[in-house]
Amino acid sequence: MNVQTNIPLSTLTTMKIGGNANYVADVTSKDELQQLYQNSKKLNQPVYVIGGGSNLIAHDEGFPGLIIHNKIGSITITDDNPTATTIVAGAGEIWDDLVKYTVDLELSGIEAMSGIPGTVGAAPVQNIGAYGQELADTFVSCEAYDTTTDTFVTLTWEDCKFSYRHSIFRGEATGRYIITSVTMSFNKTKPEPPFYDALDKYLTAKHIDPTTVTVQIIRDAVLDIRMNKLPDPRVLPNAGSFFKNAIVEKWKADDLLNTYSDMPTYPVDDQHTKIPAGWLIETCNLKGEVIHGMKVHDGNAVVLVNDAATGYADLAAAREQIIDTVRDKFQIVLEQEPLELTLIVQA
């Protein structure tokens, strides 16, 4: 394996900020991963594991240890029957490559998550989701290196404690596990309406009969929607959705609807409602604004683009100003979605 020194974190993350990492190494196998981690532990140096760097914010001071770039690949069908197919994907696989693979096989489960940047290993960390689907819907288990016991373990759906954009990997078990592969189960039935609101509107505008929709149609629709709403991080540096959608108590949403009748809402359960963070930010007249060098994206206010930020301090200042503005107007506190590069997680 090749270990590089003094590598700018701005080259490893899609937000394009951050100082240097002391060491960076690619790993393509579980043995390499375990060996590198054990060596770093013996040297008493911190370790951080990344995938695509698309949901990760680096700091100006850099990282005083080893960055492990997880590139453990492979996609394998482990079970196939008339109604479902089980697939194991390596943590280093590009997420959208896996989506395309399943869609090509006419399997349903993650087609609405087309175009999400990052790797398979990062997906369970924040329980990624889009347009009515989330990883937890297809997740069966994952294999991970347990840094506490120095063993490889299998974690079930129940073990991971998934919730909205959350799991044990960014909760109580932050830093303990390094995901090496993910097992998912996909069904062979066609997508059926009702579809997520944005998808439904798209299909209607394109005069597509909802009863004829296939996984390929859903994938094409999502990619088209994303192309018009979300900036390509290869062109405009960003970390995707920067704020989580707000989950509030139902009475709070109902109260706001009395004032903002056009506010989009989505039921979570009997007591909670989801309000899009982008709508909250846009309603504060921040869409398109440049704040401390970070631009609130013109097409989707939940995305922050690194327009002219010189470092993490600019990003932090912009984040706090947006959070304060939304809180003052709606009494809702937005939460950051991307992870901070401080502990052992995958991003």
| Angstrom distances, CA of residue 33 to CA of 38, 51, 81, 118, 221 | 9, 13, 34, 19, 38
Q: For residue 324, give the 3-state DSSP assignment.
A: helix
Residue carrying structure tokens 């709606």: 330
Length of the chain: 347
The dihedral through the CA atoms of 281, 286, 288, 290 has a sign that is negative
**Strands, DSSP E only, in 58-138?**
63-70, 75-80, 84-90, 129-130, 133-134
Q: What is the DSSP letter of 132?
A: T
DSSP symbols for 218-239: HHHHHHHHHHHHS--TTTS-EE
CB 85 within 8 A of CB 107: yes
Can you say whether residue 60 is alpha, beta or left, with left for phi > 0 and alpha for psi between -120 and 50 degrees?
Answer: alpha
Phi, then psi, of 277 in degrees rounded to 5: -60, -35
φ and ψ at residue 303, rounded to 5 degrees: -105, 130
Cis, bond preceding 124 (omega within 30 deg of 0): no
CA distance 284 to 279: 9
Annotated catalytic residues are 165, 241, 337
- Please report the sign of the dihedral spanned by the C-alpha atoms of residue 205, residue 209, residue 214, residue 216: negative
Distance in angstroms (rounded) separating the CA atoms of residues 338 and 347: 8
List strand residue ranges (DSSP E) for 106-231, in order.
129-130, 133-134, 139-146, 151-156, 177-187
Residue type, position 221, single letter:
A
